[in-house]
Amino acid sequence: MVMQKGTKILPAEGKLGVLLPGLGAVATTVIAGVEAVRRGLGNPKKKPIGSLTQMGRIRLGKRTENRNPYIRDFVPLSQLEDIVFGGWDIFPDNAYEAAAHAGVLSREDLGELRPHLEAVRPMPGVFDPSYVKKLNGTFVKQGASKRQLAEQLMVDIANFKRDNELARCVAVWCASTEVYQQPSACHASLDAFEKGLDENDEHIAPSAIYAYACLKSGVPYANGAPNLSLDFPAMIELAKRQSLPICGKDFKTGQTLMKTVLAPTLKARCLGLEGWYSTNILGNRDGEVLDDPESFKTKEMSKLGALEYILQPHLYPDLYEHFHHVVRINYYPPRGDNKEGWDNIDIFGWLGYPMQIKIDFLCRDSILAAPIVLDLALFMDLAQRAGMSGIQEWLSFYFKTPMTAPSLYPEHDLFIQLMKLKNTLRYLRGEELITHLGAEYYD
């Protein structure tokens, strides 16, 4: 990512298309929520709560200056009124039908938004049952090769932009977790990947076909799942060639969000960790997909990484060298989208005396994910207008497994991530970066 301090940012003129592969619980919650905010529905709580771009402020200059504008007023973001949603799915339900099936939002809220949601209809999706074994897609594209499927997606994107008279587009993956895979030869370069598309290489996942089609179409791409769809040399090469921003992967919502808050606390106070046991129950489509061991492994690998990077056992062997970290996810249909995460944390303090922390986080998965999708869409559009291309590490705040340059380890500490994000915005606008040094260090 290359940028200049006080970078010239093109204005957010015209309509912004937000393409969402996967028109399920998360995507429909985003679409319904943005429309509710745009309409200003009567309930004062019907606000974009959880969205940093809409509700967050940013401190500028010294504390004595008392400059704390909203982020949306500080950087030129697209307005909610200018967003047009579209997307793909492997089922033909429109956004209203999909939202009603997901059961995230109340019937009352959906009823008020029904005409708008019914107008959002998915385009047929790219699907391979070997990558998502618990679902049986009925609304899918057909093609003789994966290259043809990618080309069909590119036609969809072109038609979506033309039909809605859009100035720009961004894409955010909101679909299911695919089976676990390691990079193979087809991921090593763009030439190898495109050859794999022609030859129907079995190692190219549907999510990677979406990423390729979007980037080839000039659309910035954010990966909201732990899938191998963006974080490999071929796709990084394509993003650089197209001068497009990319970021991912796997939205940081419930249990991992808590880990990236609590683990920095333990490290900051030099408290030791014996073990961290995490289990989840959820009953939405995500839970159904993760009931397959191969898809669960993809999610497990994403959820396991944060503690190692935050606690750095190689630097603090007395505190963290041998801690046990276990993650479980259980599909429990009665819970629906209302996920529950239990954590048992065994810690030790002065002279090795043991202590425990217990967490029971009764959260709503899509309610936590929806503002992330909105923020990523708006920030990725900002990045493109600012001429920022390649991996956008400053957006690691939103991900379980943040993408970084090959030589860098990912930063998982939520508060460091937030500082990086806000300092990037300050830098873009020519403001001084916040270092939190005291006044005595300034002239």
Span 428-433, mean pLDDT? 96
| Residue 437, pLDDT above cutoff 90 | no
Q: Are strands 123-124 and 245-248 parallel, antiparallel or unpaired?
A: unpaired
State which fold the 15-251+366-428 domain adopts.
Rossmann fold (3.40.50)
109 burial via Cβ count (<10 Å: 0-12, 13-18, 19+): middle
Give me the pLDDT at residue 441, please.
45
Q: Is the peptide bond before 249 cis (omega within 30 degrees of 0)?
A: yes
pLDDT of residue 362: 93
Asked whether the predicted pLDDT for residue 302 surpasses 80, the reply is: no
CB of 25 within 8 A of CB of 408? no
> Above pLDDT 90, what percent of the chain?
83
Class of domain 255-362: alpha beta
Which band of pLDDT confidence, cut at 50, 70 and 90, is reported for residue 335? confident
What is the per-residue pLDDT across 1-34, written as a single tens digit (0 to 9) for each?
Answer: 445 577 899 999 999 999 999 999 999 999 999 9
User: How far is the C-alpha of 187 from the C-alpha of 231, rounded, in Å?
Assistant: 9
Which residues contact residue 136 at a Cβ distance below 8 angstroms, ignoring those fewer than 6 apart?
A: 129
Percent of the chain with pLDDT over 70: 96
Question: Given pLDDT bands bounded at 50, 70 and 90, which one contains residue 305?
Answer: confident
Q: How far apart are CA 368 and CA 26, in angstroms?
A: 9
Q: pLDDT tens-digit profile of 28-71?
A: 999 999 999 999 865 677 899 999 999 999 999 999 999 999 99
Q: What is the pLDDT of residue 291?
A: 74
Give the predicted TM-score (pTM) of the model: 0.94
Mean pLDDT of all residues in 242-256? 95
Closest CA to 95 of 125, 115, 124, 81: 115
Give the residue among 33, 63, 24 at the shortest CA–CA distance from 224: 24
- Using one digit for the tens of pLDDT, what is the confidence trace for 344-367? 999 999 999 999 999 999 999 999
Judge whether 15-251+366-428 and 255-362 match in fold: no
Q: Which residues share a beta bridge with 18?
A: 85, 170
Domain ranges of the chain: 15-251+366-428, 255-362
Instruction: Tell me, letter by letter, the H, E, C secondary structure of 51-119.
Output: CHHHHCECCECCHHHCECCEHHHHCCCCCHHHEEEEEEECCCCCHHHHHHHHCCCCHHHHHHHHHHHHC
208 pLDDT above the threshold of 60: yes
- Which residues, in sequence order, are CB contacts of 388 under 8 Å at separation 6+? 1, 2, 3, 245
